[in-house]
Amino acid sequence: AFKEAGYLAKVKWSSWEHILGGDNIGRDLLSRIIHGARVSLVVVTVALIFGLLIGVSMGLVAGYFGGLIDEVIMRVTDIWLGLPFILVAIVAVIAFGQTFTILIILLGILSWTPFVRNVRGEVLSLKTRDYVSLAKVAGCSTFRILVWHILPGTINTIIVIATLRVGQLILTEAILSFLGAGIPPPTPAWGAMVNDGRPYINDAWWISFFPGVAIFLVVMSLNFLGDWLRDRLDPRLRQLN
């Protein structure tokens, strides 16, 4: 037990040496939460960029070309949304090992679907604009039209989705780490820290509590930021307000 191991006095909560207490082997909890935040943000940012590139590219192609290409991309997206991601992630970790590369790939392939749907919707509207028609008449290539004339019109939507997606990816990474399929140990991970405190919840509740609070505050803040950006960047919502 926690008390029997002699750790309780060593990591007493709210001591000057450990403002948030220590974990089950005496490591300072605050420093591990801060370090875990840095690791999580790096992993999530790289994964988000990976997913953003895939999702935006597929959304541009689906919306611009339409027809069979659009139908295939959207059906693939629907099928992907129906997959049990947590189960897929656990199987992938068992098959390929628990590494940062595997985690980034898993989070990246989770994050691309909302970009496809929303960017496609924007492109369906933008491709009918006069400046796009003039670019076609001027002989611009399809790639140039997509990148220089249509993509800039989707930037606001991409920013909002990316902001909202960061919070969701942080939460997903925490869940995977809690289940032992996320950030590989001994690197601090918020989800793993919550799991580490489970056996000692009665004697040392802070081991799980404060990492859980950190997850909650970060995810909630990013969701609020995403909602605020959506209200400011969406011209339709600005007109309603």
pLDDT computed for residue 104 by the predictor: 92
What is the band of 15 on the pLDDT scale with cuts at 50, 70, 90? Answer: low
Tokens of 113: 């679907």
What is the band of 158 on the pLDDT scale with cuts at 50, 70, 90? Answer: very high
Tokens of 211: 């990492």
Residue 233 has pLDDT above 90, yes or no: no
Q: How far is CA 89 from the centre of its chain?
A: 14
Tokens of 58: 């597929």
Domain over 16-240 is classified CATH 1.10.530.10: no
Tokens of 133: 């028609």
Tokens of 188: 């601090």
CA distances from 121 to 41, 64, 116 (A): 29, 10, 9
What's the pTM?
0.84
Backbone angles phi, psi at 18, to 5 degrees: -135, 90
What is the band of 224 on the pLDDT scale with cuts at 50, 70, 90? Answer: very high
Of 171, 229, 193, 241, the C-alpha closest to 32 is 193
